[in-house]
Amino acid sequence: MTIDKKNMLQHLDLGLYLMRKRQQQLEEVEIADWTTTDVFFMNHISTCFAENKRKKQQVGWKIRKSLLNVVNGKVPPCGMDWQNVYKVYTPFMLTKYKHWVAVMIDLVLCEIKVYDSKVSLIPDDIVKEELARYQLRFQIFSTPSTFMKKVFMQTIAPEIGGVRGQ
């Protein structure tokens, strides 16, 4: 079966949506400690921080409402508030190879792990290089949650590519 490359993003988003939808149907005792985002999450991060860097703001960076809506679970559809999860899974495009990998952001350990089906074909250095620009260094995070402030004041990705191919 081949997937139409033109519609690949819709396929990825649909799969992630179905995972989130299923998660909402679980009974409370079965609710998982993770959530997923859509394919545009890394774009939210990139745009938000590029704008702040361009304005040379190092302290008190402004967080775009679009990114805040993701963290608060308002988007994508069936999202979960990050105050209720420990891990966030998101797709990430390795632009040099035009290859998608799964990225797990651990909000407790403040690290990023990469899961890749082509682990032997794409060097770790390339993965680290591409993800390095997404190291999140929040000075102030405008949410009422003490947990979220604590997490985002630290570096989210001190060790990039901790686990691949599991």
> Does the structure show a pLDDT above 80 at 5?
no
Task: Tell me what the mean pLDDT of segment 111-117 comes to.
Answer: 81
147-155, long-range: CB < 8 A, 24+ apart: 147/83, 148/71, 148/82, 148/83, 151/107, 151/108, 151/110, 154/110, 155/110
> Does the structure show a pLDDT above 80 at 47?
no
Beta-carbon contacts of residue 132 (< 8 Å; ≥ 6 apart): 160
Contact in structure between 116 and 164 (CB atoms under 8 Å): yes
> Does the structure show a pLDDT above 50 at 64?
yes
- State the amino acid at position 150 in one-letter form: K
Contact in structure between 87 and 106 (CB atoms under 8 Å): yes
> Does the structure show a pLDDT above 50 at 112?
yes
Q: How far apart are CA 92 and CA 98, in angstroms?
A: 10
User: Lowest-confidence range among 13-27, 32-46, 136-150?
Assistant: 136-150
Instruction: Give the residues across from 35 on adjacent strands.
Output: 88
Q: How far apart are CA 42 and CA 14, in angstroms?
A: 17
Q: How far apart are CA 144 and CA 16, in angstroms?
A: 27
Q: From residue 113, give the alpha-carbon distance in Å to each of 10, 82, 90, 105, 133.
A: 24, 18, 11, 7, 15
Q: How confident is the model at residue 140 (pLDDT cuts 50, 70, 90)?
A: very low
Q: Where are the beta strands (DSSP E) in 42-110?
A: 87-94, 99-106
User: Across the chain, what does the average pLDDT equal?
Assistant: 67
Phi–psi pair at 104, nearest 5 degrees = -110, 120
Q: How far apart are CA 51 and CA 62, in angstroms?
A: 9
